[in-house]
Amino acid sequence: MSVLKNDRRIPFLRIAKRAEISRRKAWAIRIAAILLSLITGGLLIIALGHNPFSVYRDMVTGSFSTRTALIATAKIAVPLLGAAISIAPAFKMKFWNIGTEGQILAGAIAASYFALFQHENMSRPVLLLVMFLAAVLVGGLWALIPAVFKAKWGTNETLFTLMMNYIVLNIVTYLRTGPWKNPSSSGFPKIAMFDDSARLPNLFGVHIGWIVVLGLTIFMYIYMKHTQHGYEIAVVGESENTARYVGMHVPVIITRTIFISGAIAGLVGFLIVSGSSYTLTDNTAGGYGFTAITVAWLAKLDPFAMIIISIFLAVLKKGSNTIQTNFKIPASASEVLTGIILFFMLGCEFFINYRLIFRNTKIVEVQHD
């Protein structure tokens, strides 16, 4: 007679972390993910009644085919890259800074004050320099608040930095509707446009901030890879206890690193208001702080890889605007299409780091006479 000894079922599917994966296989997974995203997005486009090849073609040509389109794409990529660079040292230290959006706005507010109220008292070079320094300082100080709480009392930096985004956003709303409201604006309250002296000069049609951001990319690579500070960031990220054991002053490292992170985000705010929008609005940060998290994650915190990914996401953003115009595709549908592509790109990282193990379901039996 046969009886069950144990009704336990061995899992049909389980997940195991990969010990290592070859570069060729990793890129094969990434390419497969991109192809699947295009196929899935193509099904959505077909459902909307359009030719996927035409839509994808216009997404690319709408970003690069003309000088105007190329400049518009660059103006999206520059602040996105800058925001991603600001996130890199914090994430390397495993300080989950979700407050880049607010730090961008904080820097933008500081720069806007001098642009609006001090432009008559300074020459253009001095004014731009003061705006730059104010944005960097205020962005760093705004980020320093959650860093001090984390270093001293061990607070949750994810929630802390996220909530601070809403605080600074409401500060902008207060300024726009109150003390900084443009008296000549009729209807919707808004802040006045900057004087020409408070606007960054252009180089090849794009404000010179792109040179600053590329310089920051090189700086951050060297800083994280080849300096004592970069080494300390990596050790703290691996284990705070280990860092303390070898004599590192962890609170100082945390506050110093997050100040740098916030300062770069503040700089991005300055570049946006002085190089692109020429004023301060509730939408100045434009979601760059949140999208930069995707850039940093896909690039694995490699500053040079962030350049490529920032350009790619800028193409998606500019391309989605183009297909809305050319094919009358609703904005919501174009955002879904962009989301599908990003979903597959992020999802492929799971299969690079983990593998799926399938097993047949088994029942263990014991034979009795």
- Is residue 365 scored above 70 in pLDDT? no
Tell me the pLDDT tens digit for each residue of 14-32: 777 877 788 888 888 888 9
Same domain, 109 and 32: no
Greatest CA span in the chain, whole angstroms?
102
Same domain, 131 and 256: yes
Same domain, 191 and 274: yes
Same domain, 311 and 369: no
Same domain, 174 and 113: yes
pLDDT band at 308 (very low <50, low <70, confident <90, very high): very high
Same domain, 111 and 249: yes
pLDDT of residue 363: 43
pLDDT band at 369 (very low <50, low <70, confident <90, very high): very low
Q: Domain for residue 96, yes or no?
A: yes
d(CA 292, CA 344): 17
Q: Domain for residue 59, yes or no?
A: no
Q: Domain for residue 27, yes or no?
A: yes
Angle formed by the axes of helices 100-117 and 157-177, nearest 10° = 30
257, two tokens: 């690193």
pLDDT band at 8 (very low <50, low <70, confident <90, very high): low
Same domain, 273 and 347: no
Average pLDDT of the chain to the nearest whole number: 89
The 10 Å CB-count burial string (b at 16+, else e) for 222-253 is: ebbeeeeebebbebbbeebeebeeeebebeeb
| % of the chain residues with pLDDT over 70 | 94
d(CA 2, CA 198): 87
Same domain, 176 and 199: yes
For 184-212, what is the mean pLDDT? 91
> Which residues on adjacent β-strands are paired with residue 207?
202
Same domain, 127 and 192: yes
For 186-200, what is the mean pLDDT? 91
pLDDT of residue 7: 46
Spell out where the chain has E strands. Answer: 2-6, 13-17, 202-203, 206-207, 354-358, 364-367
CA proximity to 213, closest of 112, 295, 127, 322: 295
| % of the chain residues with pLDDT over 90 | 65
pLDDT of residue 357: 79
Q: How many domains does the chain have?
A: 2
pLDDT of residue 102: 96
294, two tokens: 């995707």
Q: Domain for residue 300, yes or no?
A: yes
236, two tokens: 């703290």
Q: Domain for residue 234, yes or no?
A: yes
Mean pLDDT is lowest, of 296-300, 340-344, 349-353, for 349-353
Q: Domain for residue 60, yes or no?
A: no
pLDDT of residue 27: 84
Q: Assign residue 166 the CATH number of its domain.
A: 1.10.3470
Alpha carbon of 141 to those of 102, 147, 261, 276, 318: distances in Å? 12, 10, 10, 24, 33
Tell me the pLDDT tens digit for each residue of 26-75: 888 888 988 999 999 999 999 999 999 999 999 888 888 888 889 999 99
d(CA 257, CA 39): 42
- Is residue 368 scored above 70 in pLDDT? no
pLDDT of residue 209: 93
- Is residue 200 scored above 60 in pLDDT? yes
Same domain, 170 and 202: yes
Q: Domain for residue 57, yes or no?
A: no
Q: Which residue, 284, 299, 320, sits at the end of a domain?
A: 320
Tell me the pLDDT tens digit for each residue of 126-182: 999 999 999 999 999 999 999 999 988 989 999 999 999 999 999 999 999 989 999
Angle formed by the axes of helices 100-117 and 67-92, nearest 10° = 120
Same domain, 95 and 164: yes
Residue 267 domain boundaries: 69-320
pLDDT of residue 113: 96
Same domain, 276 and 159: yes
Q: Domain for residue 10, yes or no?
A: yes
Residue 9 or residue 22, greater confidence = 22
For 359-368, what is the mean pLDDT? 48
pLDDT of residue 21: 80
Length, in residues, of the chain: 369
pLDDT of residue 248: 93
Q: Alpha helices, DSSP H only, in 93-156?
A: 100-117, 124-153
pLDDT of residue 148: 94
